[in-house]
Amino acid sequence: MGKEIERKFLVHDNIYKEMAKGRRELAQGYLSRNPDATVRVRVADSTGYITVKGRNAGAVRDEWEYQIPVADAEAMLGLCAEGSVLSKTRYLVDFGGRTWEVDEFHGHLEGLVVAEVELDDENAVLEVPPFASKEVTGDARYYNSNLCKHGKPE
């Protein structure tokens, strides 16, 4: 079992695009939005994934992720997803010795941009990049599973 330790911030400046070392196009949806067993299906470029996550305890949660055939992932997104399927561009930005993932949402979430960084330790010292603003770690309104159902937070 893996542990995901992640902090999340809103983004107020598009300088991340100039800083990015790469980008991916993602589509993702949820087969279960149960906080104790969230099940996500994702297509990242041309690769499929299924991920199971446990309940958040602050910035930490259990996580299991497996690659699956892209045709299976696309079928699950089309037939089984609860709520809408998210579409986003993920920019990878190296900053402060870490790789930040900056998600620029499309469709009904257009205008929402969120930066996430995974940590080895929940108490790790973190240098926040200039494009990041308010921290939303632990704010359930910004969980992707809730964005699928409720849309963009006010």
30 is catalytic: yes
Helix extents (H) in 12-118? 16-19, 70-79
**2-39 burial by CB neighbour count: b if 16+ within 10 A, else e?**
eebbbbbbbbeeeebeebbeeeeebbbbbbebeeeebb
Number of Cβ within 10 Å of residue 53's Cβ equals 21
Domain 2-150 has CATH 2.40.320.10: yes
Q: Would you state the pLDDT for residue 43?
A: 98
Q: Among the options 16, 30, 142, 143, which is catalytic?
A: 30
**pTM of the model as a whole:** 0.91
User: 64 near 44, Cβ under 8 Å?
Assistant: no
The predicted pLDDT at position 1 comes to: 62
Q: What residues are paired with 88 via a beta bridge?
A: 26, 105
Collapsing DSSP states into helix, strand and coil, what is residue 96?
Answer: coil
Q: What is the pLDDT along the chain (154 residues), one digit of tens a residue?
A: 677 789 999 999 999 999 999 999 999 999 999 989 999 999 999 999 999 999 877 778 899 999 999 999 999 999 999 889 999 999 999 999 999 999 999 999 999 999 999 998 888 899 999 999 999 998 999 999 999 888 999 8
**99 φ/ψ angles, rounded to the nearest 5 degrees:** -100, 120
pLDDT given at position 57: 76
Q: Residue 24: helix, strand or coil by DSSP?
A: strand
